[in-house]
Amino acid sequence: MAGLSILALGLMLGGAQARLSCTTDAFVSVLPANVTVTSATVVPQNGTFELDTTTGLPALCALTVNVPSSSNTSFNFGIYLPDNWNGRFLTTGNGGFAGGIRWESMAVFSMYGFASVSTDTGHISGPVDGSWAYNEPDKMYDWGWRAIHGSVVNSKLITEAYYETNISYSYYSACSTGGRQGFKELQLFPDSFDGVIAGAPAWDLVHLPTSTLKSGLYNLPANASHHIPYPLFQAIVDEVTRQCDPQDGLRDGIISDPYGCNFQFEQLLCSKAKTTNCVTGDQLDTVYKFYNDYVDVNQTFVFPGLALGADPSLLLSSPVGLGIDFYRYFIYNDSNWDYTSFTYADVQLAEKIRPGDAIADDFDLTPFKARGGKLIQYHGLADNLVQTGSSTLFRRKVYQAMLEAGSATGDEDIDEFYRLFMVPGMGHCSGSNIAPWYFAAADQAVTGATHSVPGFQDADHDILLSLMRWVENGTAPEHIIATKFVNDTVSQGVQSQRPLCVYPKQARYQGGNASEPTSWACESLY
C-alpha cells in the first residue's frame, strides 16, 4: 500500500519514478557482498556532479561502485539514474587504452532518460598510455572484458532495485575501444543487450596495434630514401581526393567509395614537369604500403591498410604510442623494448598471448541474433587511426562464420540483425570539415547540442533512436541521415545533410541541391 501511494504521488509530481533512496546503503541487499557502492549523490535538475564537467544535468542519482575482480584488483563503475527515467538501460565504453569512468558520455545518455553506465575498466590512464598493463594480467582481463561485464550485471541489479521495476530494454553505444567492448560483450554474453551500436571498433586487439606500429615503421628511418617528410602528406591527400572524389556522382571533396577507386599511385611521382608536391619512386613504395593490406612473411595477411582518403599524418609520421605500448606492456613486459627491432615473430607471439582476451574474434553471432539482438556498426571512411577496412573485414568474418554455422544463407540473414554504415569523409568516430558526420553517436559532439540532433530528434537522424526503433518496433534502418552544422555549431544552422547507407550500398548524387538529403539515394553498386 505504502509503495503504491508513493508511486501515485510520484506520478502526480510529474513522473518522478525514483523510489529507493539515493544513498550508499540502499543497495546493500541487492548486490553481492563484495560489491560496494562507494558514493551516492543527489543531483538536482539543471545541476552538476563533481566528477563530471557537464553543466545542466537532469535531476538524477549518481553512484560510484567498486567491484573486486581478483585477490588484488578491482574496477569501478559510475551510474546515472535520472528521475525522469525512460525505462531503459544503456552502457557506454572507453577509448584507446584509457581507464576512467566516462561521466560526460553518461550525461549525454541520461538526457534521453537512460539509466547510464560507464566503467573505469580497472585503471586510470590516458588513451595512448599502456604502461598500467605492465606485469598486470588481471588488469588486462578487466580492460579486456571483465569490467564491462561486471558493470552491466551489477548496474542492472541497481537500476531495477532503484526504480522497483524491470528494465524494458538494454542498450550499448560506444566508439573505438568502446566498439570492441560492445562486440566482446555480445560475443561472450549475448543476453546483456537488446541493441548495440559499435563505432569504428578496435576489435582486433592483436593486429590493430601491430598495424599501428607497422604503419609508423614504414616511414623510418627518417634519413632513408623511402622516408616521406610531413609537408608531403597533404599532397598525397589532395591527389587521392582528385582521383577518388567523383565516383559518387559529385565532385565535392568527399570520397564515398575509396574501395571502388582505381587509384593511380604513380600520379604522385615527380617528373621534369612536376618537381614539388610529389614523391620519388622509393617514397611511392611507402605510400603504397600504407594504403594497402599489411602482408608479412609468406604472404600472410595481417591487417587492412588505411582507406584511400585517410590522412596519413597521424600514423605515418612516426610510430604511435598505441602500437609501441602494446608490445612493451601487453606482450613483452619490458618498458625498454626497442620497436625498431620489430619482426613478424613479434606478431606471432602476440597472437599466442592474446593479452587480456580482449580481441573480439568470436565471429559466429548466432546466439545474439537468436535472442533478438540488433547490431549497428559504423565507421568513418576517412578514419586515420582505426582502419576502415577492419570493419568490413569483421562483417565478412561474421558472414562466413554464420554461413558455416548454418544460421545464415545470405546477406539478407545478416542484415536482419546486423547493419554496417560507412560514413564518407568522417575521421575516427567523429568529425569532418566538409562532410555531414553528426548523427548523435557516442563521443560525437557539436556546439549547442546536449544530446541527439537538435531540430531532428528522430530515428532517421539519431543513430540511437534508430536502434531503438529497430529493437522495439522492428523497423530496420535503411539509412541514417548525417548532419553537418555550419562550423559544427547548432545555432549557425544546417550546412548539409546526406544519407549514410546500409553497407555495401552507397549514396549517389541524383541532382538538385547537394546539401539536401533527398538529392542522394542509397544504391547498390555491386
Ligand X SMILES: *[C@@H]1O[C@H](CO)[C@@H](O)[C@H](O)[C@H]1NC(C)=O
Work out which of 344, 455, 491, 518 binds ligand X, going by CB under 6 A.
Answer: 344
136 near ligand X (CB under 6 A): yes
Q: Which does 469 bind (CB under 5 to 8 A by kind): ligand X, Ca ion, none?
A: ligand X
Which of 124/224 has CB closer to ligand X?
224
Cβ neighbourhood burial of 293 (10 Å; 0-12, 13-18, 19+): middle
Q: How far is the CB of 243 from Ca ion (least distance, A)?
A: 11
Q: Which residues contact 93 (CB under 8 A, 6 or more apart)?
A: 102, 118, 148, 172, 174, 175, 176, 177, 178, 179, 180, 181, 182, 442
Q: What is the DSSP string of 443-501?
A: T---BT-SSS-TT--STTT-HHHHHHHHHHH----SEEEEEEEGGGBGGG-EEEEEEEE
Near Ca ion by CB under 5 A, which window of 25-33, 102-110, 129-137, 249-257? 249-257
Residue 208: CB partners within 8 Å, gap ≥ 6? 202, 303, 386, 387, 390
Binding-site size, ligand X (CB under 6 A)? 38
Residue 221 interacting with ligand X (CB under 6 A): yes
| # chain residues binding Ca ion, by CB under 5 A | 5
Q: Does residue 56 interact with ligand X by CB under 6 A? A: yes
By the rule CB under 5 A, 254 interacts with Ca ion? yes
Give the 3-state secondary structure of residue 294. strand
- Comparing CB distances to ligand X, the nearer of 267 and 300 is 300
Is there binding between residue 168 and ligand X (CB under 6 A)?
no
Sheet holding 88-91, edge to edge: 36-43, 60-68, 74-82, 115-119, 88-91, 169-175, 195-199, 374-380, 418-423
What, of ligand X, Ca ion, none, does residue 254 touch, CB below 5 to 8 Å by kind? Ca ion
Among 8, 297, 370, 525, binds ligand X (CB under 6 A): 297
Nearest to 195 by CA among 503, 504, 429, 464: 464
Q: Which does 264 bind (CB under 5 to 8 A by kind): Ca ion, ligand X, none?
A: none
Could you say which of ligand X, Ca ion, none residue 403 binds, taking C-beta under 5 to 8 angstroms by partner kind?
none
- The H-or-E segment that residue 523 falls in is strand 520-523
Among 166, 264, 340, 341, binds ligand X (CB under 6 A): 166
Residue 472 interacts with, from Ca ion, ligand X, none (CB under 5-8 Å by kind): ligand X
**Residue pair 375/383 in contact by the 8 Å Cβ criterion:** no
Alpha helices per DSSP H over 291-340: 313-316, 321-325
Residue whose CB is less far from Ca ion, 302 or 381:
381
Strand 74-82 and strand 60-68: the pairing is antiparallel
Length of the chain as a residue count: 526
β-bridge mates for residue 76, sequence order:
66
Is 248 a binding residue for Ca ion by CB under 5 A? The answer is: yes
Encoded one letter per residue, x for contact with ligand X by CB under 6 A and - for no contact, window 430-469 reads -----------------------------x--------xx
Q: Is 129 in the site for ligand X (CB under 6 A)?
A: no
Tell me which stretch binds ligand X (CB under 6 A): 171-179, 276-284, 331-339, 376-384: 331-339
Provide the pairing of β-strand 36-43 with 88-91.
unpaired
Q: Does 423 bind Ca ion (CB under 5 A)?
A: no
Among Ca ion, ligand X, none, residue 245 binds (CB under 5-8 Å by kind)? Ca ion
Which 3-state string (H, E, C) describes 67-84?
Answer: EECCCCCEEEEEEEEECC
Q: Which three cell numbers stand for residue 264?
A: 593511380
* Distance of alpha carbon 163 from alpha carbon 151, whole angstroms: 18
The dihedral region occupied by 118, where left means phi > 0, alpha psi between -120 and 50, and beta the remainder, is beta
407 interacts with, out of Ca ion, ligand X, none, CB within 5 to 8 A per kind: none
158, 180 in Cβ contact below 8 A? Answer: no
Q: Which does 248 bind (CB under 5 to 8 A by kind): Ca ion, ligand X, none?
A: Ca ion
Residue with cell 541497481: 158
Is there a contact between 406 and 364 (Cβ–Cβ < 8 Å)?
A: no
Candidate ranges 24-32, 171-179, 239-247, 392-400; the one touching Ca ion (CB under 5 A) = 239-247
| Beta-bridge partner residues of 356 | none
Under 8 Å between Cβ of 53 and 104: yes
Q: In the numeric block, which cell numbers belong to residue 492? A: 549557425
Per CB under 5 A, 245 contacts Ca ion:
yes
Segment interacting with ligand X, rule: CB under 6 A, options 13-21, 135-143, 196-204, 226-234 = 135-143
Residue 34 lies near ligand X (rule: CB under 6 A): yes
Grid cell 559529385 is found at: 250
347 to 386: interface string for ligand X, x by CB under 6 A: ------x---------------------------------
- Residue 487 binds ligand X (CB under 6 A): yes
Q: Is 510 in the site for ligand X (CB under 6 A)?
A: no
Q: How far is the CB of 275 from ligand X (least distance, A)?
A: 22
Nearer Cβ to ligand X (221/231): 221
Could you say whether residue 332 binds ligand X (CB under 6 A)?
Answer: yes
Residues near Ca ion (CB under 5 A) are 245, 248, 250, 252, 254
Q: Residue numbers of the site for ligand X (CB under 6 A)? A: 32, 34, 46, 55-56, 68-70, 72-73, 135-137, 165-166, 221, 223-224, 297-298, 331-333, 344, 353, 459, 468-469, 472-473, 486-487, 492, 494, 496, 513, 515-516
